[in-house]
Structure formats: C-alpha cells, structure tokens
Structure 1
C-alpha cells in the first residue's frame, strides 16, 4: 500500500520509535500513498521505497532519513524489518503550497535534504481554498510512471495507525474506492468523508486530476472534505464506499475515548494530546534504559 502526504516512505536507522519530526508544520494536509503487493497489484514499486517500520500491530513507512510524518507503532518495540511481499508499502509526505518566506524555505530545504518527505504544490497555502484539489490533481501526474493503489489525505493533527488502515484496505477493491469516517447527510450515511483523513483509489484521483468541470465551476473553495464528496457524488465516482467509524474519531475533551482498534484519532491540537495518544498506544514502550536520561 503506498501513501502520500504525499509520496515517499521514511527510514529509522537504528531507532526504536516511529515518531513525527518536521521543522515546519503544514496547514492540515499530509499525503499517504499506498500499495498492497500481497494482492498482486501490478502497481507495486521496487525495493527503493525502503522498508517498513514494524511494531506489534502496526507499520510505518520508512526510507533513508529518520523523520516521520505519520506515527504508527504497536505495543512492542518498533524495529527495522526487511521488505516482505505480504505487507503494505507506504509512502508519507508533508504537503505544502509554495513556500515564499525565505526563513521557511531554508528550513524546508533542510527537511527535504535530510528526509525527502515533502511535496510542494503550485498554489498559495490554504486549507479550504483549493489545496486538497491541487494535491489530488498533482499526485497522479507526478507519479504517473509509478502509480499507487490508493491515495490518502490526512490532517496533521491526526494520529494514523498505518497497519490498521492497511489491513482494512487489504480486502477492498482497487477501483472506485472512497473510504474514511463517513458523514451522513439526509438518508445518505456516507455523503462525504470527514476531513481528518480519507482514502481514494488511484483511478478516483486520476479522475479528479482530469475533470475540468471542477475548475470550470470554481468548485474548489469551501470545506475541502465536503467538496471532495460533492465532486464524487456528481461524477458518480467512489461508488465503493466504506466508513471506518467508529475506528476513526475525534479525541474528546477529557482524552479518555481511545479505542484499541483505532485506525485514526483526530484533534491532537497540542503536545498534551499527542502525549496522551502516545501513552495509550505504547509508542515509547521500547525505550531502552540509559544513564543519559531519567524518565519515569
């Protein structure tokens, strides 16, 4: 399974944790590109994608750097594992629009040089004024020679358990898929998918990329998750719809509604909420004793 925030995996040389580090924080969009070679996908890439960072029940993309855009760790210590034909391959990137501030540009260049986990789109930075459309339109063109099975957009305040998502997708079709936290409108239980994170199959992303009607009617400005659902509904795309509710959910005020079978938990707006999430999912369980630090 390939992921994109949009596109290439990340690496953990000698580290026991899969954790996110970035010098700059994007405005609400991470790209996840997925390929599931175990299902015989003809789109599987070669080994240069790197290996998967494997925990007890989770995998995170990894490549040649050390920084992570998506956290996905299990109860056991995360370890480097060789590529296997029966597990998903996932690429993750931070997604920016054009970076015009010279300080930000310098910091972003360092991130790209060190980790190669960034995608910069040709747009003005925004959240609900076309960035998601630019992303879904750009990925099929950028990776036309090495297509993925699925493309995911997720918010940067979402903790995504990549292995759980991969397992959900393993048995799903490869075409006409639209998956996430279904949002009901009227009698339709999945009119659109919540913006915390949603997946479309590669053919759906290609359709968005080539559909001039969306731009002709300036239908890219407004709540991005609702608009994606609107495009697909009008175009009769994404007919294979799957809601992962309640396994994708918002963290509540008291930070006590975690679920062991979580696929994604959203609304991690500060370090306290991230820390609570890391504790619940035992992200730091493999930390080795050392006289260099004293942690409880």
Structure 2
C-alpha cells in the first residue's frame, strides 16, 4: 500500500509560498527580459522549487528515492504465479455441444489453492476449418470465447495433429512461455487443482507426465493420450526436431509416437506416472475415485452427467422456482 511520509508533506508545505510569488515573478520577467538580451542566464523553474521528496539539488530523484519508488511499485504489482500451464483440448469443429460441456467443466471448478499459485489457460485446438458452415460457427465461437487455436493442418486424430500442436505452441507463445504444455482430449474431465498440486513439486524442465503404460520391454513409460504434460523445453525440442518430419514419424497412434520421439531423443527424463489417478471410465461408470486428476472416455452426455454428479459439480443448483413471473 502506498503511503505518504511526513517528509513529503513538509516539502509540499514549503512550496506554497513560492507559488504565491508566481504572478509577481511573471510581471518582473516581462520588465527584465528585454534588458537581458543574449544573456545565458536561465530559470530553474517551478520544478526545482517544488521538487518532490527525495529529489536531489538538480531536481532529479536520488538513488534511494528511486529504489523506494521501485519497491512500492513492486509491492503493488500482482504476484507472479509459481507455475503456468497451457491446456490444449484437441477437438473437431462439429463438436460444439461437447466444447460447451467442457468449457463449463473448467469454469465451474474451484481455482488451484493457494490463490494465484498457477496460471492455467485452456485452448480448444483444431486443424484448419475448411467447411464453410463450420468456419462460420467456429468464428462466432472464437469471437465469443477467445479460446480457439487453429493449426496449419488437415483435421485428423493420428495423422500429425499432436505433432503440429506441440510444434506450434513454442512459436505462438514465444513472448510469454508456459512452464508446462498439456495435450488432452474433449472426452476427458481434467481436475485442474489436483493437476496443479502435482506439478508444484515437479521440475520445470525435461518433464513428461501422465497416465503411464509400458510398451514392450521399454523401461520408460509412455503416456496415455487421454492427457499428458510436457515441460516447455520438451515442446520446444519437438518443434525444432527435423528428424521427426524427415522420417515421416507423425503418422500413427499419437501417444505412442510422442513417447517414441522422446525416447529416441533422450528427452522427458523426468517421467511421472499418475496412474491410477488418471484413468478410463468403465462401462458401468462405477470406478470414479475421489482423488481423480483426469477421467477419460466421456463419450456422451450421460457419462458427463455422471461425472458432474460424482464430483458434486451440480449439487443444489437446480431448485424449484419460488416466484413465477407472467407477462399480462
């Protein structure tokens, strides 16, 4: 909070008599200036007479005063979060109803605690929108919500879209990098606060985190496509690694391919398997867990409704109306 010192108030009161002399000074100047001719004398002006507290003899702020002002400005500035996370939800243009559900799923969650601990941004990720109807509706959606990210690719699931996403992010957000980049799907319910709590204790580089699973005898787990996180440096490495494109290694199951790239490149050495807190919802929808980070396979509204009910998202919201208003 900004305060005014007694010294500053005293300086302001000393300045008042000088201000009363300004009209007389101007009159004197009109009489004296013609006789000065080419004189190099100059007025110090009111800025010197009424310099603020902490200013030196030349009217400039002293080093101590500048440090004090900088400290006050820093105290007033919002605190920087411990970490930042970009969540990219891979979806398709025609799934507008699904995106509305997912938006609500994020919007109704409590923010990570403590307040301000993390900055989390959610973006819905498309390839280029070619259908004119979809293009018009997505444009309206983007204008309304501001959360659409369109990539330079043809819409697909396992034909390079994830590679394009991870490659585009470091370029698109180069001016304000995130600590972590996440890829997830529009049939995944992500509990942001739980994920942030996990990330707070993790390194900020060379991270690969998600629901791990083994492939063959490889000791390094691959991360399931329901949702995985890489640190910013890993995404930047993917974006500049020409070997991936040279070997046409972007076609196939995207989660297996991401793990393959990182294994070959020796990246993502800090691997964290969050299984069983990230899992698929089963056929009977009875395997929810209270410490869930992400639950996957929410392919229809019935499954989303069961998820919201289990995590108390909708408790007590719908009530009978006590007042009904009718137009005459």
In the aligned structure 1, how far is the partner of 2:198 from the partner of 2:109?
21
Distance in structure 2 (CA, Å) of the matches to 1:139 and 1:119: 10
TM-score under structure 2 length normalisation: 0.67
Checking the alignment, whether the CA contact within 8 Å between 2:308 and 2:314 is kept in structure 1 is yes
TM-aligned CA deviation for residue 92 of structure 1: 0.4
Instruction: After TM superposition, list the pairs within 5 Å mapping 1:168-247 onto structure 2.
Output: 168-188=198-218, 190-247=220-277
Q: Which residue is equivalent to 2:175?
A: 145
For the residue of structure 2 that corresponds to 1:5, the secondary structure is strand
* Correspondent of 2:287 among 257, 263, 269: 257
For 1:25, which of 95, 98, 103 is the aligned residue?
A: 95
- Tell me, in whole angstroms, the C-alpha distance in 1 between the residues paired with 2:106 and 2:281: 17
Higher helix share: 2
2:211, 2:228 within 8 Å by CA — same for their partners in 1?
Answer: yes
- Structure 2, unaligned stretches of length 5 or more? 1-83, 324-328
* Structure 2 counterpart of 1:40: none
Q: CA deviation at 1:5?
A: 1.7
- Residue 287 of structure 1: how far off its partner (Å): 1.5
Secondary structure in structure 1 of the residue aligned to 2:87: coil
Distance 1:190 1:290, change over 3 A: farther
Contact 1:70 1:160 in 2 (8 A): no
Distance (Å, rounded) in 2 between the aligned partners of 1:175 and 1:212: 21
SS at match of 1:194: strand
TM-fit CA distance, 1:188: 3.7
Corresponding residue for 1:63?
none
1:285-296 correspondence runs (5 A): 285=315, 287=317, 289=319, 291=321
The Cα shift of 1:185 comes to 2.0
8 Å Cα contact 1:4-1:151 kept in structure 2 = yes
**Is 1:103 aligned with 2:133?**
yes
The DSSP-based 3-state class of the residue aligned with 1:261 is coil
Q: Map 1:42-191 onto structure 2 (within 5 A).
A: 69=103, 71-72=105-106, 84-85=115-116, 87-188=117-218, 190-191=220-221
1:182–1:245 CA contact under 8 A, matched in 2: yes
**Which range moves more in the overlay, 185-194 or 140-149?**
185-194
- Aligned with 1:248 (options 274, 278, 284): 278
Q: CA deviation at 1:180?
A: 0.3
> Structure 1, unaligned stretches of length 5 or more?
8-21, 31-65
CA contact (8 A) 2:212 2:224 kept: yes
Structure number with higher strand proportion: 1
Rounded to whole Å, the distance in 1 between the matches of 2:93 and 2:301 is 15
Cα deviation per residue 1:123-180 (whole Å; 9 max; x = unaligned)? 0000000000000000000000100000000011000000000000000000000000
Indicate yes or no: 2:88 matched with 1:5.
Answer: yes
Cα separation, 2, equivalents of 1:106 and 1:185: 42
Larger Rg: 2
CA RMSD of aligned residues (A): 3.0
Can you list the C-alpha shifts for 1:198-217, whole angstroms capped at 9, x where unaligned?
00000000000000000000
Kept in 2: contact 1:95–1:118 (CA 8 A): yes
Q: Check 1:184–1:292 CA distance in 2 against 1; reply closer, same or farther (3 A cut).
A: farther
Shift of 1:67: 8.2
Aligned residues: 239
Q: Determine if contact 2:221/2:271 at 8 Å carries over to the other structure.
A: no
> Structure 1 205/79 Cα, relative in aligned 2: closer, same or farther at 3 Å?
closer
SS in structure 1 at match of 2:85: coil
